Structure formats: C-alpha cells, structure tokens
Structure 1
Amino acid sequence: MNKRVVVTGLGICAPNGVGLADFYDSMLNGKSGIIFHQELADLGFGCQIAGKPEIPESLKESYFTALQLRGLNSSGIVYGVMAGTDAWMDAGLAKADKDQPDWDSGIIFGTGILGIDKLRESIYLIDDNNARRLGSNSVMQTMASGISAYLGGILGCGNQVTTNSSACATGTEGVIMGMERIRSGKAERMLVGSCNDSGPYIWGGFDAMRILPSNYNDNPQEASRPMSASASGFVPGSGAGAMVLESLDSALKRGSKIYAEVLGGAFNSGGQRGVGSMTAPNSQAVQRCILEALKDAGVEKSEVDVINGHLTATSKDAEEIRNWSEALERTAKDFPFINATKGLVGHCLAASGSVECVAALLQYREGLIFGNQNCQDLHPEILELVDASRIPMKTTSHKPKIVAKASFGFGDVNACVIFNDYKEM
C-alpha cells in the first residue's frame, strides 16, 4: 500500500505571528518577531534578544479549559496546543465525540525541552519540603510527550499519539513520520508538528556557547542574518508549527482544501564521523539525506525549484549551500530559489522545522516565494555557487512546484521532506 498524502490544515504560533493570517502578513512584508528582552539583560546574557510568540491570557482561554489553565506553566505546551488545534480546525475537522475516539486520526508532535519553567518551579517546591504542593499537572507538563498528550485529549485522536525529539530536525522529521504512517495505510490523518519552550533556561546554554549574536542588542530586527557575510550567530526563538496530513482519498471524500502533496522524505545521521560532530553536520550525510528524499519522492534533481533551508545565520550557512549545490548538481542561475525563514523568527530550535514547513506551504497557497531578510551582503562563498537572483530579498511572485525543506540538528541528525503542488492524476 502506498497512499498519496496531502496537507489539508496548517497552524502556527510564531514570534512574528500567532495564527495563519498574522504569520502570513509578517512573512509577506518582512516583519520580524525578534525583540530585546530586559529579562535576559538582567540575567547578564551576552545576547539579550530573542523571538518569542506573544500570547495574551485571554487568547489562552480559547484553547484550554479553566481546569487545564490552572497551574499551566509550560510555554511549549501553550504554543503547541494553539498551533495544533488551529491546524485541525483549518482542515475542517471536528473534535471526536466524548465517548468515542477517532481511530483513524493520530498525532506526532515533537519537542526539544518541554516544561522547563514548570520543572524549575517543581524543584524549588521539593527543595523547600513542599513536594505535596506540586499539583496534579506537574508530570503532564514536564514529560516529553506532554504536548501530544494534551492535543490527543483535546481532539480525541485514537490512532498513534506520540512525540519525537531530534533537536532542530524534530519538526521536519515528524512530517516524514506522519507521511509514512498514512502512506502505509495505518492512519487516515496525522496531526504533525513541533514546539519549543521559551525563556532564559532554554536559551542560556547557547549563550554560554557564544554562538548567539551579542552585537545586535540595540538593533534586534537585523540580528538574524542567514546567508550573510556579516552573520554572527543564530538568534534564539520559540513557538510551534502544525500540519494536518491526510490520505488523498480521505481529503477528497471530505471535500477538503489541499495546500500541497507530501511526495516523500528521508532522515539520517552522519554518525558524528568525519567532519560531523555533536554540533556540526557531516556533509556526506546531509547530501545523502537530500538524495534519499528525492528518491523516495520520485523527483529528479532538476525538478526542485524552491528550497527552504535550515540556514541558521552561522558559519555553516555557506557549507549548507555547498551541500545543496553538490547534491542537486546545480549552480549559478540553475540553482533553485532558496529562502530562510529564520531571518524573521530566529532559530526556534525543535519548533524550527515545523514553523518553516508552514511558511513553505503558505507559498503554495499564495503563489509566491517569501523573501530573505538581512542578507544584502551575501556571503562570498555562497555567491561563488549561487547567482544572487536565486536568493530573493523581497517576496517574489512564483508558483512553487517542487519544494525541498531540510533541517539539521545537534547530534548530527538530518531530515529532508519534499512537497509538490497538488495535481490530480
């Protein structure tokens, strides 16, 4: 069995837009969600800027019951539930009846670190001999699968409900995992996505590694500079993205709108061998992942016309472009259009792949390619391989056909998914 898989719903909770309409407007107009955070300055961070979705308390009440909100102290769960629920509604799907799960629908919703503020709160209570004051929801908010568990209960999904975690490759990996489950006939619909907590306890380790830009605290919107010669590190971010994947048969039967088709994908690891390490990708594995994704999708190298890259605004950006160029055997003006979402939202860590997949898929709906931010001074090593016209600075009219989206994470792990403009056969 090899069912066709399509995307029928999208949801987003990003630093520059909560909800599809706000996010699309920000992406269209180059509006950044990166701002200065006084809390980081007070804590002595070198990098005092970040991307963080702004969620008013009144909005949370639309997604959570009063009981669920009591003691809720996990930003990742808030972001994930909002994005996941919105994607479900966008697909025109209803929540399951109270007495019967939806056996055909499942969830794969990933995360990196979840509930770290709740965990800190719990540690202080335990250290003060107040363990009994932890409350009944401390476990649900700090277990890795808390996000999929919350969504599973809200939506009533009765198929596989689980959480994946592969650092920055988490979101893209989840799309492939969901696709494979539907393709094999084990589910009709899978809600896939990923989320990440926000705040100093998430971002502090990266600041200590000195891989964040500390020279843009007074000018945060210019700090995230993918593919730029003056890039000085990634800006930390947070949020969630979500997609409803569905068998084509189910989508057509429901009369659902279709954003795009998921043709195939692949994930692998460089094994931290060769030039690969805990923090650096093995180029051989990256190229192999791209080629395996194309093979799984049945797509030729020449057919890829748009790439949404991982592109973190670090020294690895030029190497990523070289990997794409060598894998696809394409250079100069023959290179696909390429863009980097992180210029406007920062690096949302485990949420990055899903946030960026939503951005990539919105391009199909609107018939355009979002522009790149803060890279007017393109890195010279990139310009040796790619003509500047293939890296649009502003949103450009172009109907995507084959879009390749890749994510690479700590631990030398890689994921690449291939989308296609949906066509009936």
Structure 2
Amino acid sequence: MNRVVITGLGVVAPNGVGLQEFTDAIQKGKSGITFHQELKEKGFSCCIGGIPKISEEKIAQYLTPLQLRGFNSTSILYGCISGVDAWKDAGFSVDENSILDYDAGIIFGTGTSGIEKFRESIYKIDDNKVRRLGSTSVVQTMASGISAYLGGILGVGNQITTNSSACTTGTEALLLGFERIKTGKAKRMLVGSSSDSSLYSWGGFDAMRVMTYKHNESPEKGSRPMSASASGFVPGSGAAALVLESLESALERKATIYAEVLGGNINSGGQRNGGSLTAPNAEAVQRCIKDALVDAKISADKIDAINGHLTATSKDALEIRNWTIALNRKGENFPLINSLKSQIGHCLAASGAIESVATVLQIKDQLVFPNINCDDIHPEISELIHKDKIPQKLIKKEINFLAKASFGFGDVNACVIFKKYLDN
C-alpha cells in the first residue's frame, strides 16, 4: 500500500481565484458573498451569493478559441482553471503535444453541468428541430464534460471520470483518487469538484426555502454557520483541485509536499433512522467519522482541528453533536473547528474540494482560519463545546492531524483525515 501525499493545489472561489489570493482571503476572513441584482429581478427570496470573479483575459489563458466557441458552462470553466493551476503547482507542464501519461488520471466531480448552455440551446428550437441543438451542447452538458476537458488539456491516460454525490462530491473524489494511488493503480491523480453559478441551479434551493432571505442588504453577514441567528445557507459556486501522488513518485520528483492523506471513509445513512433526502442519519455520520479514523490508523485524541460541513442551517447543532460523539470529545477537550462557508457560502458540489484545499493550507501554514459571522454561537452548540473552540480570529497553532467532512443531499457522507507530512 502506497502512502499518498498532496503536491499541487488550485482553487476558484468566491473570495479568491488562484492559490495566493484564496490563501490571503481565508486567513483574513474575507467574505466573497455579494448582492446580485439579477436574483432580485427574478423574484428570488435570497438575492445574495458567492460567484468567482474571472476576467475574459484570464479565461483566454486556459481555454483555446476553439474550446470557447459556443462556450457557456461555468462549471467546466471553473474546473479547468483550478485543475490546470493544481497541475502546474505540482510541477507538471501543460502541453498539447505532451506524451500521454498512463500513470496519471482524473476524478473530477460536479452536481450539474452546463445548465445555462442547455437552456441556451433548447430555447432556440422547438421539439421538431431537436437536431439543431448544436454540436457544442454535447460535451458542455454531459456530467463528464469537466473531466473530458481536463483529460484532453493535460494528456493523462489513467482513469478519467466524473463523480456526483451532492455536497460530498469533492471529498468523495479525493478519497476515490486516494484509493487508486494507495492500491498502486495510479501514481498521480488530479481530484476535485466544480459547481456552476446558474440561476437554474440556485432557483430550486430558493423554492425549498433553505436559503437565507434576511441579509439581502448585508450580504457579507449572510452566511452564519454555528450562529444562533443563522437563517439558511447562502449559495456559492466555484471549483478546486488537488494533485494526489504516491510518496515514492513525489520524492523521486523532489516535489513540494503540502500534506499527507492518511485515510478516510465514505458511507450513507440509507435515509433511515431519522435520515432523509435532506436530513442526516446521525448514527451513519458518526460511523463515517469513526471509520475514517480507523482507516487512517489514528485515535480521536490526535485530531487538532476540524473543517466541518456546517452550512448555517438548523442541522449545524446536530453536526457538532455527531462530532462530539464520534470523537468522544466535548467541552474544552474538543478540537478547534471552522466552516469555510462563513466566508464563501455553500458551493454545493464544489464545497468539498474548495474546503479541502483550505484544510490543507491550514496544515501547510500551521494555523486555523477564522469563522466569521459567529459572534452569537447557537446555544445548543455552546452546551456541547467551549466557545473558544470556534475561533473568531486567525490562530497560529501546530497542526499535525486535521479532519475534513462533507455530508450531502441523499444522506451521503464522506470524511478524510489529513496529516502534516514528516520525512520518516
């Protein structure tokens, strides 16, 4: 079994595009949530959201004029930018004439892809002219479009696929890539996930009344995980990518190593025992965390910090309770915990990947980034853990083991354990 390390990172987030901008933002607690007039004009209750800012000039650095012909998929765009950045960050070149690399593959997930493109295509035709959808609509609207684009750009020959498991998608992709390298089926895997910034993705959630409507005049204060005044999540979009590599390969290349992936677990609550399409089976969540620790071969008392799922909904207190039970730690003995969603909103299928990059950066820089908008901790959470375990400001701290979890629509769970890399 191979040890697996992280050698490259790329990110497109509402509060920062590119690794340096994103790193600066999360350390400062910079919000990427803004008001969007178009949402108001379309009658949305929640008129705020997190959308990455990307110029046309930057887009042209990643996609060719041919690829951009008839292009209208932010999911693929975000994924390509983050994926190429991570690949280059790991020390690999991007060359359309490169030799095919059979030791490298891609698992890059998404929830929906190309909704805007599909609407654009069908809006122009009637049912008798379906053949006029246009050739560019195919790859942009199929779920695997994201991995297909990246596979061609990078020229990799191992497994190339797209996974989709709601909010757990990015964390699941990471663990699937980890297993492939661990068992020797690949030396390198680009893993990540992406979510588009489409009104047609967000509209359904607005109709479900799970998004906040109380902060249209104060968007930066809208996303409030673990807060007593939380009133629903804020939608976000973007993508992130990580290059996973066998330790042997990384050392052979003298690559920079950000952290090590120790192990993890993926499971489901089966929509039983309190679990449903939208609510978690608490027993399954606890088991997912416990089994992740077993897979990583570490005890719960080793965890220095947690990057939770924590969406700013009514389930935040239940998630904290699940962590306390799974780790058998509470009060002042509980690890530090934060939620990146306080800064960028809930980026849906992209959340696990973006938050995993933020988690790895905490190990790299030996710190815990701040939670914002949580000066009024939910009373049920206060009963479980000490308020100092929810940092309001950046904390410089030795971080050796860090847990990241995602819990998604359909009662699905994923938890990964990261470790500071030590040469021993």
Quote the Cα distance in structure 1 between the aligned partners of 2:372 and 2:165. Answer: 27
Mapping of residues 326-365 of structure 1, within 5 Å:
326-365=325-364
2:318 matched to 1:319? yes
Task: State the aligned residue count.
Answer: 424
Alignment match, 1:407: 406
Q: CA deviation at 1:96?
A: 6.0
Task: Work out whether 1:114 is the aligned partner of 2:113.
Answer: yes
Give the Cα–Cα distance (whole angstroms) in 1 for the partners of residues 69 and 25 of structure 2. Answer: 32
**SS of corresponding position for 1:294:** helix
How far off its partner does 1:130 sit?
5.3
Distance in 2 of aligned mates of 1:401 and 1:191: 24
User: Which residue does the alignment assign to 2:48?
Assistant: 49
Contact 2:171/2:415 (CA < 8 Å) preserved in 1?
yes
Please say if residues 75 and 198 of structure 1, whose CA atoms lie closer than 8 Å, have aligned partners that are also in contact: yes
Q: What is the CA distance between 1:135 and its match in structure 2?
A: 2.9
Shift of 1:161: 0.2
The answer for the alignment partner of 1:155 in structure 2 is: 154
Please state if 1:379 is matched with 2:383.
no
CA distance in 2 between partners of 1:134 and 1:399 (Å): 55
For the 8 Å contact 2:10–2:82, the answer to whether it is kept is: yes
**Structure 1 position 136, deviation (Å):** 2.0
State the TM-score, normalizing by the size of structure 2: 0.98
CA distance in 2, matches of 1:173, 1:235: 22
Cα distance in 2 between the residues matched to 1:59 and 1:150: 17
Q: Does structure 2 retain, via aligned residues, the 8 Å contact 1:125–1:131?
A: no
Contact 1:73/1:118 (<8 A) preserved: yes
Q: Is structure 2 residue 4 aligned with structure 1 residue 14? A: no
> Are 2:414 and 1:421 equivalent residues in the alignment?
no
The AA in structure 1 aligned to 2:88 is M
The one-letter code of the counterpart of 1:398 is K
Structure 2 partner of 1:171 = 170
Aligned equivalent of 1:388: 387
Which residues of 2 match residues 179-328 of structure 1 at below 5 A? Answer: 179-328=178-327
Residue 94 (structure 2) aligns with: 95
Matches of 2:242 and 2:128 in 1, distance apart?
43
Counterpart in 1 of 2:76?
A: 77
Asked whether the equivalents of residues 364 and 420 of structure 2 are also in contact (C-alpha less than 8 Å), the reply is no
What is the distance in 2 between the residues matched to 1:55 and 1:130? 35
**Runs (5+) with no aligned partner, structure 2:** none
- Specify the code of the residue in structure 1 equivalent to 2:163: N
What is the SS of the residue equivalent to 1:31? coil
Which secondary structure state, in structure 2, belongs to the residue aligned with residue 354 of structure 1?
Answer: helix
| Contact 1:226–1:340 (CA under 8 A) maintained in structure 2 | yes
Q: CA deviation at 1:175?
A: 0.6
Residue type of the alignment partner of 1:424: D
Taking a change above 3 Å as real, the CA distance of residues 68 and 225 of structure 1, as seen in their structure-2 partners, is same
- More off after superposition, 123-132 vs 216-225: 123-132
User: Shift of the alpha carbon at 1:200?
Assistant: 1.0
Deviations 1:6-28 (A, max 9, x none): 00000000000000111111111
Distance 2:267 2:57 in 1: 42
2:37 — aligned with what? 38
How far apart are residue 199 of structure 1 and its match?
A: 2.1
Q: Deviations over 1:390-410 (max 9, x none)?
A: 111011101211110000000
Counterparts of 2:303 and 2:199, CA distance in 1: 39
2:98/2:155 contact within 8 Å kept: no
- C-alpha separation between the residues in 2 aligned to 1:79 and 1:399? 32
User: Is 1:96–1:157's contact at 8 Å kept on the other side of the alignment?
Assistant: no
The offset of 1:97, in angstroms, is: 6.3
What is the Cα deviation at residue 333 of structure 1?
Answer: 1.1
CA distance in 2 between counterparts of 1:206 and 1:385 reads: 30
Q: What TM-score do the two structures reach when normalised by structure 1?
A: 0.98
Per the alignment, do residues 287 and 28 of structure 1 end up closer, same or farther by CA in structure 2, a change over 3 Å counting? same
Give unmatched runs, 5+ long, in structure 1. none
Percentage of identical aligned residues: 62
Where does residue 86 of structure 1 map in the other structure? 85
CA shift, 1:134, in A, is 3.3
CA contact (8 A) 1:118 1:141 kept: yes
RMSD: 1.1
1:4 matched residue in structure 2: 3
| Aligned-partner residue type, residue 255 of structure 1 | K
What code does the residue aligned with 2:301 have? Answer: S
Deviations 1:19-77 (A, max 9, x none): 01111111111111100000000000000000011111110000000100111100000
Deviates more, 1:186-195 or 1:387-396: 387-396
Secondary structure in 2 matching 1:415: strand
Distance 1:343 1:361 in 2: 18
- The secondary structure found in structure 1 opposite 2:66 is helix
Aligned 8 A contact 1:363 1:399 in 2: no
SS where residue 150 of structure 2 aligns?
helix
Q: What secondary structure, in the 3-state scheme, does the structure 1 residue paired with 2:201 have?
A: helix
* C-alpha distance in structure 1 between counterparts of 2:287 and 2:48, whole Å: 35
Deviation, structure 1 residue 95: 3.2
Residues 352 and 99 from structure 1, CA distance in 2 versus in 1: closer, same or farther, beyond 3 angstroms? Answer: closer
Shift of 1:127: 1.8
Assess if the C-alpha contact under 8 Å between 1:169 and 1:350 holds in 2.
yes
CA distance in 2, matches of 1:112, 1:302: 34
Deviations 1:351-377, CA, capped at 9 Å, x for gaps: 000000000111122111100010000
